[in-house]
Amino acid sequence: MTEQEKFEFKSEARQLLELMIHSVYSNKEVFLRELISNSSDALDRRRVEAITDKSLLEDGHELEIRLEADKTARILHLHDSGIGMSKDEVIKNLGTIARSGTKEFVQNLKSQEGDQTAELIGQFGVGFYSAFMVADEVTVVTRRAGESEATRWTSSGDGSYTVEAAEKEDIGTTVSLRLRDADPDNALPDFTDDFVLRSTVKKHSDFVTHPIKLRVEETKEEEGKDPEVTITWPTINSMKAIWTRPSSDVTDDEYNEFYRHISHDWAEPLDRVSFKAEGTFEYQTLLFIPENPPMDMYWRDAKYGLQLYVNRVLIQDRCEELVPSYLRFLKGVVDSPDLSLNVSREMLQQDRRLTQIRKRIVKKVLDALQYIQKSDREKYIKFWNAFGRVLKEGIVQEQDQKDAMKELLMFYSSADDEKLTSLDEYIERMKEDQDTIYYITGESRKAVERSPHLESLKAKGYEVLFLIDPVDELVSENVSEYKEKKLKSVSKGEVNLGSEEEKKEAEEKRKEAEKSHESLLKAIQEILNEDLKEVRMSSRLTASAACLVGGEDDISPQLERLLEQAGQKPPKQKRILELNPEHHLLGKMNALHIADDKQKLSAYAQIVYGQALLAEGSALPDPMQFNQLVTEVLVDAAS
């Protein structure tokens, strides 16, 4: 007798199973699609592994999925001849639900009603457990290719499961569901009925490239003879590769179901892109842009890529060579008859034809996004909110399509509290005498829109873009101009606004203020010499006493902080302190300087410098000292 091991799901997983069992929504039939998708993946994996290890798939062995219903016992079996699982894989894959976000999933599931539940199941990767919506017990018997022992996994959805050794003659997996009684009034059909199974497969899994066979039992009765029972296994899916069919022959529902099949996302895609190349090198491509980002989109070790087929045979499930990382959200297939079925990963990396496909995919996807941006703004904003941060990575990576990517960029700006804007839309609103696109980088909108660097621009009605994503620091370093308009940070260098006459007048006024306060500026420079490379008068301030700016080629404080967080501490940068010539603090400091009160002038200078640091979101080098200096100045002012 084999030893049976009992395991407990974590508390959050128990809540999830309970919600699964008791959730009520109309689309319960999708459990079958999820199980078939898992079986299809297992079949693909066995075929791929057999390319390099032919012992895993004997000649003549058929890769297939079989459905078998026991009406009397109300049990539905789903058999596949895929790769199978070892005991450790069973515990890893079936014993830990939604490893990456169980708690978040449960919270979302509790707050959702109706068919939205299905979208969450797909988003959090728990499709297998949808079986508990129709079954009060699920048993999995599996044997991995290359192993002789099998494993049985059983759970009633009560928060625990058992694992034990089992016997299985064939390689693959059998999932057996002890079905609840049919309840049509509550959208629970009879999944032991042949018609229900056929229609469900036709609706959701007709395009699966492996045969799905249904056990059909027919009884023939003749008078005076025992009933004759005939069992057949007809294939109930068409197995037509959807990407090979003319788009006019494929419905939106069929495309959506195929997307769900390859992505395991229960939501519909936001958009799709399909094209083919003919001639000396042929291939077909069907791509989908998801509506929602996957949970692992920002995981460093997350796998991405498109499915690569050769003559409709899957040879790689996630081919990273087909898409750059900034398009890692794409789902889809590429099928070419001109690649070798025995192609290895190393050969793929060296195959120039894959580079050609990749370039074409990039162009087609960017073209599609530009079309959406111009024709359906609401749809594009939805895409941007989901994937804009990832797409911005391409500004750094992409060279061939860099101009196209610039057109797709969207930012918040000082022109509108809520709406995103493109660079083209910014240019349309520019003043007649304006030849520069102004922007500011920072950690949040709240931080940048209150920045003293914006004061003169706001006063003169100039729009400023808010670059507040961490990746925007790299965007600003790699986008210096757009359509002959220079992009300029308002926190670097000098900002000269208005007509040529106005610029000249402002510059003369600034120089005059510097000349009249030359001695004071030198004194402040000496006090703060360790931190500053220059102290000068400002033409960008109207209300604040001071601000810190960088040189044109300096990195921003935000990028400096990001590099430090990544363990790449840059060399110390000295900044430029700009003072507002109209501010009363300048007069106070000048009076102290004339009186030769070096101690008080030093305190004021350090306080002004500290305020400028805080205004840009930087940390004070010595908060305790700053606090003491502020207290001393307040006490002195009150006496």
CA 3/CA 165 separation, integer angstroms: 7
Tell me which of 119-123, 225-229, 273-277, 333-337 is least confident: 119-123
What pLDDT is attached to residue 19? 64
- Give mean pLDDT, residues 425-442: 92
- pLDDT at 627 > cutoff 60: yes
What pLDDT is attached to residue 373? 97
Helices marked H in 210-293 — which ranges? 252-263
342 exposure class (CB count in 10 Å sphere: 0-12, 13-18, 19+): exposed
What pLDDT is attached to residue 240? 85
Chain mean position to CA 162: 35
Higher pLDDT, 345 or 136: 136
Locus of tokens 């002012």: 637
What pLDDT is attached to residue 100? 38
**87-108 pLDDT tens trace:** 999 988 887 654 434 445 445 5
What pLDDT is attached to residue 139? 97
Q: Which of helix, strand or coil describes residue 444? A: coil
Best CA proximity match to 130, nearest among 14, 261, 20: 20
Chain mean position to CA 386: 7
Cα separations (Å) of 131 from 32, 35, 63? Answer: 8, 8, 23
- Give mean pLDDT, residues 503-523: 90
Sign of CA dihedral 445, 446, 450, 452: negative
For 577-589, letters b (16+ CB in 10 Å) and e give bbbbbebebbebb
Q: Which of helix, strand or coil describes residue 606? A: helix
Tell me which of 436-440, 447-451, 551-555 is least confident: 551-555
- Give mean pLDDT, residues 630-638: 86
**16-26 pLDDT tens trace:** 666 666 654 55
- pLDDT at 125 > cutoff 50: no
* Stated pTM of the model: 0.76
What pLDDT is attached to residue 341? 58
Q: Kindly report the CA angle at 586 between 584 and 590, in degrees rounded to 5? A: 120
- Tokens encoding 172: 């693959």
CA 536/CA 37 separation, integer angstroms: 67
- Tokens encoding 46: 């066995």
Tell me which of 92-106, 107-121, 174-188, 610-624 is least confident: 107-121
Question: Which DSSP helix (H) or strand (E) runs through 42?
Answer: helix 30-52
What pLDDT is attached to residue 348? 57
Q: Order of strands, edge to edge, in the sheet holding 546-549?
A: 532-537, 575-579, 546-549
Give the chain's length: 639
- Give mean pLDDT, residues 426-455: 90
Q: Mind giving me the DSSP string for 487-511?
A: EEETTBS----SSHHHHHHHHHHHH
- pLDDT at 306 > cutoff 80: yes
pLDDT bracket for residue 15 (50, 70, 90): low
Q: Where are the beta strands (DSSP E) in 514-571?
A: 532-537, 546-549
- Give mean pLDDT, residues 315-325: 88
Q: Which of helix, strand or coil describes residue 83? A: coil
Residue type, 633: V
What pLDDT is attached to residue 361? 96
What pLDDT is attached to residue 112? 52
C-beta neighbour count of 277 within 10 angstroms: 16
Residue type, 592: L
What pLDDT is attached to residue 121? 44
Best CA proximity match to 322, nearest among 361, 372, 284: 361
What pLDDT is attached to residue 96? 64
3-state helix, strand, coil in the chain (%, to 5): 45, 20, 35
What pLDDT is attached to residue 76? 97
Contact 580, 502 (CB under 8 A): no
Locus of tokens 């990832």: 390
CA terminus-to-terminus distance, the chain: 92
Give the chain's largest Cα–Cα span. Answer: 128
- pLDDT at 342 > cutoff 70: no
pLDDT bracket for residue 115 (50, 70, 90): very low
- pLDDT at 499 > cutoff 70: yes
> Strand 228-232 to strand 216-220: parallel, antiparallel, or no bridges (unpaired)?
antiparallel
Tell me which of 85-89, 241-245, 341-345, 601-605 is least confident: 341-345
Locus of tokens 């074409």: 360
- pLDDT at 429 > cutoff 90: yes
Question: Which DSSP helix (H) or strand (E) runs through 391?
Answer: helix 377-397
Higher pLDDT, 339 or 466: 466
Percentage of the chain exceeding pLDDT 70:
90
Contact 109, 19 (CB under 8 A): yes
- pLDDT at 371 > cutoff 50: yes
**552-587 pLDDT tens trace:** 888 777 777 777 777 777 777 888 999 999 999 999
pLDDT bracket for residue 203 (50, 70, 90): confident
What pLDDT is attached to residue 84? 95
- Give mean pLDDT, residues 107-135: 59
Question: Which DSSP helix (H) or strand (E) runs through 166?
Answer: strand 160-166
- Give mean pLDDT, residues 449-463: 91
What pLDDT is attached to residue 160? 85
Q: Kindly report the CA angle at 493 between 490 and 499, in degrees rounded to 5? A: 70
- pLDDT at 60 > cutoff 80: no
CA 599/CA 318 separation, integer angstroms: 67
Q: Which of helix, strand or coil describes residue 54? A: helix
Cα separations (Å) of 95 from 99, 101, 133, 140? Answer: 10, 15, 18, 12
Sign of CA dihedral 292, 296, 300, 306: negative
Mean of the per-residue pLDDT values of the chain = 86
**525-549 pLDDT tens trace:** 999 999 999 999 998 898 999 999 9
